[in-house]
Amino acid sequence: MKESVLFERVILGSTEEAKDIILQLVNLSAYFCESRIVKNINLAIEKNKVTSIMGPSGCGKTTLIRCINRMHEMSPGGTTKGEILLYGKDINNMNAIEVRKKIGMVFQRPNPFPTMTIYENVIAGFILNGIRLPKNIMDEIVEDSLSKAALWDEVKHNLGKRGIYLSGGQQQRLCIARALAMKPDVLLLDEPTSALDPKATAKIEELIVQLKESVTILIVTHNIAQAARVSDNTAFLYLGELVEYEPTKKLFTIPRDKRTEEYLTGKYG
Partner 1 sequence: MIMNNEVIIDKIFKGSLRAVGLVLLGIPLLLLGVMFFYSLPSIKAFGFRFIVGQTWDPVKGMYGGLPFLVGTLLTSLIALVISFPFSFSTALLLSEYLEGGILANMLKSAIELLAGIPSVIYGFWGLIVLVPLLRKLEMTMGIPPYGVSIFGASIILSIMIIPYASTMSREVMRLVPGDIKEAAYSLGGTHWEVIKRVVIPTSRSGIFAGILLALGRALGETMAVTMIIGNKNQLTFNVFEPGNTMASVIANEFTEASDTLYLSSLIELGLLLFVVTAIINFLGRKIIERYEIKGDDGALLNE
Partner 2 sequence: MSDVLIKKRILKDHLAKLIILAISIIVVVPLVLILGYLIINGLASINLDFITNIPKPVGETGGGILNAILGSGIIILTALILFVPLGIGGGIYVSEFSDTLLSRILRLSIDVLQGTPSIVIGIFTWVICVVPMGRFSALSGSLALGVMVLPIVLKSTEETLKLIPMELREAATALGVPYYRVVLKVVVPAGLKGIASGVLLGTTRISGETAPLLFTAFGNPYMSFNILKPMSSLPLVIYVYATSPYDEWHKLAWGASLILILLVFGINMAARIFFSRRDGR
Q: Which residues contact partner 2 (rule: CB under 8 A)?
A: 69, 71, 74, 97-101, 104-105, 107, 109, 111-115, 124-125, 128-130, 175, 178-179, 182
Judged by beta carbon distances under 5 to 8 A according to partner kind, the member of partner 2, partner 1, none in contact with residue 94 is: partner 1
| Beta carbon of residue 118, minimum distance to partner 2 (angstroms, whole number) | 15
Ranges within 91-120 binding partner 1 (CB under 8 A)? 93-95, 97-98
Rounded Cα–Cα distance for residues 225 and 209 (Å): 15
Q: Does 202 bind partner 1 (CB under 8 A)?
A: no
Q: Which residues contact 256 (CB under 8 A, 6 or more apart)?
A: 14, 244, 246
Cβ atoms of 182 and 131 closer than 8 Å: no
Query: Cβ closer to partner 1: 33 or 97?
Result: 97
- Specify burial of residue 145 (Cβ count, 10 A radius: 0-12, 13-18, 19+): buried
* Contact of 185 with 86, CB cutoff 8 Å: yes
Task: Please report how close the Cβ of residue 97 comes to partner 1 at its closest, in angstroms.
Answer: 5
d(CA 36, CA 27): 13
99 binds, among partner 1, partner 2, none (CB under 5 to 8 A by kind): partner 2
- Report in angstroms how near the CB of residue 36 gets to partner 2 at its nearest: 23
DSSP state of 72: G
Nearer to partner 2, 66 or 229 (CB): 66
Across the strands, what pairs with 30?
38, 80
Nearer to partner 2, 177 or 224 (CB): 177
69 binds, among partner 2, partner 1, none (CB under 5 to 8 A by kind): partner 2
CA distances from 22 to 13, 41, 165 (A): 16, 16, 37
- Check if the beta carbon of residue 29 is closer than 8 Å to that of residue 39: yes
CB closer to partner 2 out of 115 and 210: 115
Which of residues 95 and 253 has its CB atom nearest to partner 1 in the complex?
A: 95
Q: Choosing among partner 2, partner 1, none, which partner's interface includes residue 111 (Cβ < 5 to 8 Å by kind)?
A: partner 2
C-alpha to C-alpha distance for 204 and 5, rounded to whole angstroms? 36
21 or 91, CB closer to partner 1?
91
Residue 80 forms beta bridges with which residues? 30
CA dihedral sign of residues 138, 140, 141, 146: positive
Residue (171 or 221) nearer to partner 2, CB: 171
The site that binds partner 1 (CB under 8 A) totals a number of residues, namely 5
Indicate which of partner 2, partner 1, none lies near residue 93 (CB less than 5 to 8 Å, by partner kind).
Answer: partner 1
Contact footprint for partner 1 (CB under 8 A) = 93-95, 97-98
